[in-house]
Amino acid sequence: MTGRIRKREQDPDITRRSRLLLYVAFGAFALLLGRLYWLQVVESDRYRNLAENNRLRLRTVRAPRGLILDRKGRPIAETQGSFDLVCSPVDVTDLEAEIGLLAEIVEFDVDDNEVLDKIRSAQRSNPYSSITVARDLRFEQVSVIEFNRENLPGFSVLVGAKRSYPYGTAFAHVLGYVGEASPEEMDQSEDGSLAMGDQIGKYGLERLMDNVLRGVNGGRKVEVDAAGRDQRLVEEVPSRAGGAVHTSLDADLQVTAQEVLGNRAGAVIALAPRTGEVLAFYSGPAFDPNVFARGIRKADWQALHSDPRKPMQNKGLQGTYAPGSTVKPFLAMAALEEKMQEKGKLVHCPGSYRLGNRVFRCWREKGHGAVDMYRALVQSCDVYFYTLGLKLGPDRVAKLEKDAGLGTITGIDLPGERKGLVPDTEWKRRVSKERWQDYESVILGIGQGAVHLTPLEMAVGYAALATGGEVMRPRVVSKAIGKDGKVRTFSPEMLRKLPWDPENVEFIRKALAGVVNDYGTGGGAKLPGIVVGGKTGTAQVASVKGKMIKSEDLPYEIRDHAWFVAFAPVDDPQIVVAAMVEHGGHGGSAAAPIVKAVMQEYFRTLTVGPERKGGA
């Protein structure tokens, strides 16, 4: 067998046909090569990017939110670890079944249907994300979930951070609360620093000081496999914790204020008159900010907002009330400053005062007899102040009261402050185009009529009386330590110094001391060893015709608001406390004991130190 043998039997057709197929093969390979050239050479950059996006994920490392501390360094808002139930949409196999099982174990942050919707939309738009559906699980819940591991492929329990308020409802209206940033808030954040699921301050100090408290999120660039599971850490930028906010609040006073107000509606505010520092600021009923931090359910939110006693309203700076007799010292002060009435001038009180055909009653039906300014304040004689109101007229009263801070924005560093109203002739012209009537001046003398004030304004006004005309801006925040370590201190800020005659100031203080200590209406605030000076107020909500009825016998909604505002010690005032109880009845019996309790606690801790040790 040598060499090539020419094919005999082979038909040339077979050769031709085979060649044809070979050409088809060449064609197919050329096509494939062209395709590979397109993918690997022409479009290569695009696919390289896609491959990188495939394998690399940027995971947010949430920065812990900073502390808020009271004046003794005790944390009143802190960040704690919590077991959170997190959903990874891409791993969910049967969403309804898994949610159904979980609903028996935990309570979701939002309604079950909302959870379903949230996960479904994430499954479409961002399947590799993680969604927190329930926060702060109890240990038993965690163990039940772990026990059902196999039936819950899309869910896992992770350790997250939760905002925690150790004093519960006590600081609700001062601290506010945090919540997940809304899409609008994320758009508005200046540098896009807000990530989905980040918590931001929504109310109170949490909102006001958000840029201090909120840290800077870090990130972990990780390589993931196709299931989204982390394989390798590629790069890490650590998170930076938020800064701290130091406040002038005293947790002991705050708790005391809450305890003594109890479940009544109202506000208790304590200030340091010389600096404007807020020592306590409680508004009741309050809400529990811890519930908001977990994520509040719609039904609970609606319940809070439809409660007639308005637990979401900060009554200390948003509620305005007729001040009643608490305005009397300001009228007396105005009379002295304007030299309109000597303090020794006697006014006869027969139990009522007649102007034209109107009769204005004194709270003491049988009358006070002849009273001078001191007695009139101590006994809270209405007839004396009817005549004084008429004599001074609205404009003189309004000027002094506004100077002292009543009916003005006090400028406290808490959001949402509203101002009350101190009426004068100009105001009357503006709102009704009618002339100011004399009877309005008369009832103005006892803090009724158009006048209505916030408890905070009242506290600031009494602080001005206590200091002899120093109107300080009330401050909650004393120091902010930024996340960069920079310290910002907020020093006391005097809004104005009123040129009041010290002799007049001395007289008013003495008279207010008399209210408490000289058989006056405020005896309920008397403290052993410390001279307290203050003034009661019982503000009518509705006028009841005919016979005088005891406020306690009226239905709740039309009962009088009870006020007591005081400072102590009278010689060198260190603390001003304003207490207002909505529909509380008499100032002397409902509000004065609150002030007494807060002051007692203040002077007790001053001498023996704080009861609760702690802090950062």
Partner 1 sequence: MTLPSKWARMDWPLLLIALALCAIGLLNVYSGTRVHGVPGTALVTKQLAWILLGVAAFFAVYFLSDGFIEGSANAFFLAVLLLLVVVLLAGKVRGGAQRWIALGAFNFQPSEFAKIAVTLALARYFSGKYRYGGIGLRETLPAIGMVLAPFLLVALQPDLGSAGVFLFILAGMAVVACVRWKVLAVFGATGAAAIPVLWFFMKGYQRQRVLTFMNPELDPLGAGYHVIQSKIAVGSGGIIGKGYLQGTQGSLRFLPEQHTDFAFAVFSEEWGFLGSFLLLALFLLLVYRLFFLTIRSQDRFASFACGGIAVFFLTHIVINLAMVCGLFPVVGIPLPFVSYGGSSMLTGMMALGAAANLSRSRFTFQGGGGKGREIAS
Residue 11 or 553 having the CB closest to partner 1: 11
Rg (CA), the chain: 36
Q: Which stretch binds partner 1 (CB under 8 A): 4-12, 473-481, 488-496, 530-538?
A: 4-12
Residue list 21-40, contact with partner 1 (CB under 8 A): 21-22, 24-26, 28-29, 31-33, 35-37, 39-40
Cis before 289? omega within 30: no
Q: CA 576 → CA 151, 453, 513, distances in Å?
A: 61, 17, 13
- Can residue 51 be called a binding residue for partner 1 (CB under 8 A)? yes
Task: Tell me the residue length of the chain.
Answer: 616
- Can residue 227 be called a binding residue for partner 1 (CB under 8 A)? yes
Residue 225 or 300 having the CB closest to partner 1: 225
- Can residue 496 be called a binding residue for partner 1 (CB under 8 A)? no
Residue 126 or 302 having the CB closest to partner 1: 126
Residue 127 or 593 having the CB closest to partner 1: 127
Distance CA(290)–CA(78), nearest Å, equals 11
Shortest CB 120 distance to partner 1, Å: 14
Nearest 5 degrees, angle CA 414-CA 420-CA 426?
135
Q: Which stretch binds partner 1 (CB under 8 A): 150-158, 224-232, 234-242, 520-528?
A: 224-232
- Can residue 48 be called a binding residue for partner 1 (CB under 8 A)? yes
Q: CA 478 → CA 68, 268, 315, 379, 457, distances in Å?
A: 11, 20, 23, 39, 20
Out of 171, 220, 232, 336, point to the residue binding partner 1 (CB under 8 A): 232
In this structure, are residues 324 and 538 in contact, taking their beta carbons and an 8 Å threshold? yes
Residue 80 or 93 having the CB closest to partner 1: 93
In this structure, are residues 473 and 411 in contact, taking their beta carbons and an 8 Å threshold? yes
Q: Which stretch binds partner 1 (CB under 8 A): 46-54, 100-108, 315-323, 388-396?
A: 46-54
In this structure, are residues 130 and 92 in contact, taking their beta carbons and an 8 Å threshold? no
Residue list 77-96, contact with partner 1 (CB under 8 A): 90
Residue 1 or 159 having the CB closest to partner 1: 1
- Can residue 41 be called a binding residue for partner 1 (CB under 8 A)? yes
Shortest CB 60 distance to partner 1, Å: 21
HEC readout, 329-387: HHHHHHHHHCCCCCCCCCEEECCEEEECCEEEECCCCCCCEEECHHHHHHHCCHHHHHH
In this structure, are residues 266 and 582 in contact, taking their beta carbons and an 8 Å threshold? yes
Out of 13, 96, 150, 434, point to the residue binding partner 1 (CB under 8 A): 13
Binding mask 122-151 for partner 1 (x = CB under 8 A): -----x------------------------
Count of residues in contact with partner 1, rule CB under 8 A: 48
Cβ-Cβ contacts under 8 Å for 150 (sequence gap 6 or more): none
* Strand locations in 176-314 (E): 177-180, 199-203, 218-224, 230-237, 244-247, 266-272, 277-284
- For residue 111, the number of C-alpha atoms closer than 13 Å in the C-beta half-sphere is 7
Contacting residues toward partner 1, per CB under 8 A:
1, 5, 7-11, 13-15, 17-22, 24-26, 28-29, 31-33, 35-37, 39-41, 43-44, 46-48, 50-51, 54-55, 90, 127, 223-227, 231-232
